[in-house]
Amino acid sequence: MAELAIKKAMKIIAEAQKKARAMNLNGMTYVVLDAGGHLKALVREDGTGNIGPEVGIGKANACLSLRRSSREVAALLSGNPSLAPALGAAVQGRFLPIPGGVLIVDRNNTVLGAAASTGDTADNDEIVIIAGVEAAGYKVTLG
């Protein structure tokens, strides 16, 4: 079974941080979960809000739950407003269908986990985490 190594998880975060600094973004929180939804790595930069870790975990867990980016999850659920709270309840609130989370997929199309960032706009959160995942040598979508 393929596994996401801690060294790769930390590279995802380091590369996402590099991109965020190049874009002069707010302080960010970065989260990487393994394929089972367990925390692999988390960095909360100085000056960030106190719920960044929970928001990042919720974004990444939404990706793993429905096997797509958190942006795609939000779009999927937009037509059914009662589904997101129900899914959130099923995973003890660890489900946030808002942009900024992506899958971590290897070249064999195996989902290794999910990564998310939070702290700036949802669009910028997504840009930096995609940069981190791709710089670590992974894809962010199945297919």
108: domain CATH number is 3.30.450.150
The reply to whether 78 falls in a domain is: yes
HSE, side-chain direction, 13 A CA sphere, residue 74? 14
The reply to whether 1 falls in a domain is: no
143, pLDDT greater than 80: no
Structural domain count, the chain: 1
Over range 102-127, report the average pLDDT: 97
What residue numbers bound the domain in which 116 lies?
A: 6-135
The reply to whether 141 falls in a domain is: no
What is the pTM assigned to this prediction? 0.93
The reply to whether 69 falls in a domain is: yes
Rounded to whole angstroms, how far apart are CA atoms 29 and 125? 9
The pLDDT score that the predictor gives to residue 1 is 62
Closest CA to 115 of 17, 40, 52: 40
HSE, side-chain direction, 13 A CA sphere, residue 62? 29
Confidence of residue 123 (pLDDT cuts 50, 70, 90): very high
The reply to whether 89 falls in a domain is: yes
**For residues 11 and 131, is the Cβ–Cβ distance under 8 A?**
no
Q: Residue 43 is encoded by which pair of tokens? A: 């960095």
Strands 101-105 and 29-34, bridge-based pairing: unpaired
Rounded to whole angstroms, how far apart are CA atoms 38 and 54? 13
Of 1-5, 45-49, 59-63, 136-140, the poorest mean pLDDT is in 1-5
Over range 46-50, report the average pLDDT: 91
Over range 97-112, report the average pLDDT: 96
Q: Where are the beta strands (DSSP E) in 56-105?
A: 101-105
Q: What pLDDT digit, counting tens, does each position of 56-101 carry?
A: 999 999 999 999 999 999 898 888 888 888 887 887 778 889 999 9
